[in-house]
Amino acid sequence: MLLDAAAAAFLTCLAAYATLDPPGPAFTGPVGVVWLAAAATGLPIAVRRHRPLPVLAVVTTAAAVATATGVIGLGIIAVSWFPVVLALYTAATAAGRVTSLIALAGALTAPAVTIPWLYTRTGVTSADAAASEVALWWQVELAVTVVLLLAAWTAGRLIRWRRSLQAEAAGRLARDAVAEERLRIARELHDIVGHSLSLIAVKATVANHIAEQRPDESRAALLTIEKTSRSALTEIRRLLDVLRADDDPAELAPSPGIAQLPDLVAGLGTAGPRIELDVDSAAELPVAVDVTVYRIVQESLTNVMKHADAARCRVCVRVDGGRVRIEVCDDGRGRRSPGRPGGQGLIGMRERVSMYGGRLSTGPRPEGGFRVAAEIPYATTEEAA
């Protein structure tokens, strides 16, 4: 990266300047040696993100050798260890806990050994510093270097910990999204397949019983079975196309809604309860709410066909003041599958209604029969604006 390359060049020049013009006695050897030592400690920083641990090992070794041989600025030794500080930070963010602790131990040991040894070998004291410069104490030089290294390592570990929390949160969001998508697909498949197969089963039973006595009605029931099975296959193919598509497919048929409720009732045929449909067809609903209303009515009618043994059924859909009210009543037995009180159909309806903060109530009617009532709030165009 350009930023790392610029940092490497800056640290190299800074280390060379600190060595050539330090507060204490300057290095008296060839200038080329100074630049070689500065390059050895600074230039590897350019690739610190790609090879954090090897870079840390190289710059730590180079800084330790430069310190031990005196190719360093006395009085501001910490400046020549800046590349080690940056490399240690990078290693702490990239490595695991044990590896980062080993890296920290190595980075601390190097100055702890070489800085006191340099002062002892050269015999430098505070008196060797100019009056306007800082005092020369190896304890201060070592303390500054150690504090910088510890701060860099701590910051790196904190950054790694924060990234770990963010990754866990992102993972949870991804898992929740997958679970929600599976639930949505399960609801759609249940609504499509459950309704169609239930209707096919009812019509097949009717056709079987009246095949000889009333052949015309039997043929009508078989025709309904054919249409229903074809419609179910079409909807399943449409759902699979949506799942396979990389983006939103533009040529899919529109999702069913209030406008398709008359077709839904007509598809049930005459071999069942007489269905009275009272729908506010002029209402304009958000697409998702429109589909939800359709699916709730569809599931309610499926249950009427399967369980109610009803003669009449009334479906009422009203839209008023940002709310959709749905009511499906029949005059049947007034109970639903006692062996399965928590069937997938009712669960699916509750999930759909709860997504919008709505309410769903189901149960027998006092005068006989069964009632499904739902209320779904939604944002109107004016409220959304």
- Placement of tokens 């204490």 in the chain: 24
* Token pair for 256: 């069913």
> pLDDT of 146-159, one tens digit each?
999 999 999 999 99
pLDDT for the residue numbered 194: 63
**SS3 assignment, position 12:** helix
Please tell me the number of Cα atoms within 13 Å of 54 on its side-chain side: 7
pTM of the model: 0.55
Whether the CB-CB separation of 28 and 6 falls below 8 Å is answered with no
* Dihedral angle, C-alpha 56, 62, 63, 65, nearest 10 °: 140
The residue ranges of the chain whose pLDDT is under 70 are 124-136, 188, 190-199, 201-203, 206-212, 217, 235, 237-254, 269-271, 281-282, 308, 334-344, 380-385
Q: Which ranges of 126-192 would DSSP assign to H, the alpha helix?
A: 138-189
pLDDT for the residue numbered 191: 65
Domains of the chain: 2-172 (no CATH), 256-385 (3.30.565.10)
pLDDT for the residue numbered 122: 76
pLDDT for the residue numbered 125: 59
pLDDT for the residue numbered 132: 41
Whether the CB-CB separation of 331 and 359 falls below 8 Å is answered with no
Amino acid at 250: A
